[in-house]
Amino acid sequence: MAGNKPIETRGHITGFREEIGRAAGTSRDSFFTWFDSAGDAEASFIRGQWDFTIHIAPHLARVVGNPECKTVLEIGYGGGRILAAASRAFAGAFGVDIHNRQEVVEAELKSRGLSNFKLLGGDGSHVPCEDASIDAIYSFIVLQHVERIAIWQSYLRECYRVLRPGGAAILYFGRWAPLSLNRARPWAYRLELLLESFFLPAGYRELPAVVNDTNLHVRLGYAKKYARETGFRILGTTVSRKRVPDGLRLFGSQHGLLLQK
């Protein structure tokens, strides 16, 4: 965005571009399973529909009204597994990502009968959309991968800029979760929320990590404060969950924040 200084990224963007490019050069299954480790490309889109239904749609539905006449944006659309579900629900869907395999995702979504979407290339911290042009935004398993809090902050400001007044965003980001991660332990989750300010005294921690591992933990209180300062109203918070075959709901790696402009 004009006027914003570029943010140094220590290379996570290059890393994602290289590895996603490599997966695309291997096979269709390697590419479409790279983003969420599903068994094959088909399973990845089924899981994408599931993630949209559980983690995204119920939150946006509280605020957005009839999606059939609204636009939605995904930050970090990856292989398009969630964007496919969003395109079916909304009048129009945009996806922004830093990888260079837009054409692979576009062809896949078209082969699934979708045409109301547009994929956009991003610089890794800004959204190439007009001010006040989008009704709803979501981001899932992306903001935990950015290396710098400055990038996370930039995306929050960008969400505020591109949302129409009254529009909503459900944003997931990495959380500090040494006791509850991938476990069905509500007590541990509650304890972590209490201890976050002690273990994340700055409000966040930037973590050295390999590509597609967690690079950033952000304290829920810090995220809420920053969102309020950006101008958002906070409508709710949540945590990502995984359902496993024995019926347990395991705590995932992300906090979620539901925001309204």
| CA separation for the pair 164, 13 (Å, rounded) | 28
Q: Detail the DSSP E strand segments found in 77-232.
A: 92-97, 117-121, 134-139, 163-174, 204-206, 216-218
| CA separation for the pair 255, 40 (Å, rounded) | 27
> CA distances (Å), 109 to each of 20, 128, 171, in order?
17, 21, 23
Which region holds residue 166: left if phi is over 0, alpha if psi is between -120 and 50, else beta?
left
Minimum distance of ligand SAM from residue 194's CB (angstroms) = 29
Minimum distance of ligand SAM from residue 119's CB (angstroms) = 11
If the CB atoms of residues 64 and 151 are measured against ligand SAM, the closer one turns out to be 151
| CA separation for the pair 149, 151 (Å, rounded) | 5
Provide the pairing of β-strand 163-174 with 134-139.
Answer: parallel
Amino acid residing at 237: T
Residue closest to ligand SAM, measured at CB: 78
| CA separation for the pair 61, 229 (Å, rounded) | 24
If the CB atoms of residues 97 and 196 are measured against ligand SAM, the closer one turns out to be 97
Q: Please give the residue ranges that form the binding site for ligand SAM (CB under 6 A).
A: 16, 20, 35-36, 75-79, 81-82, 97-99, 122, 124, 140-142, 145-146, 151, 212
Minimum distance of ligand SAM from residue 190's CB (angstroms) = 26
If the CB atoms of residues 38 and 259 are measured against ligand SAM, the closer one turns out to be 38
If the CB atoms of residues 151 and 177 are measured against ligand SAM, the closer one turns out to be 151
If the CB atoms of residues 99 and 255 are measured against ligand SAM, the closer one turns out to be 99
Residue-by-residue DSSP string for 197-213: HHH-TTSEEE----TTS
Minimum distance of ligand SAM from residue 83's CB (angstroms) = 8
CB atoms within 10 A of CB 10: 12
If the CB atoms of residues 212 and 238 are measured against ligand SAM, the closer one turns out to be 212
Minimum distance of ligand SAM from residue 143's CB (angstroms) = 8
If the CB atoms of residues 21 and 203 are measured against ligand SAM, the closer one turns out to be 21
| CA separation for the pair 64, 9 (Å, rounded) | 33
Identify the CA nearest to 87 among candidates 106, 65, 102: 106
Minimum distance of ligand SAM from residue 185's CB (angstroms) = 24
Minimum distance of ligand SAM from residue 81's CB (angstroms) = 5
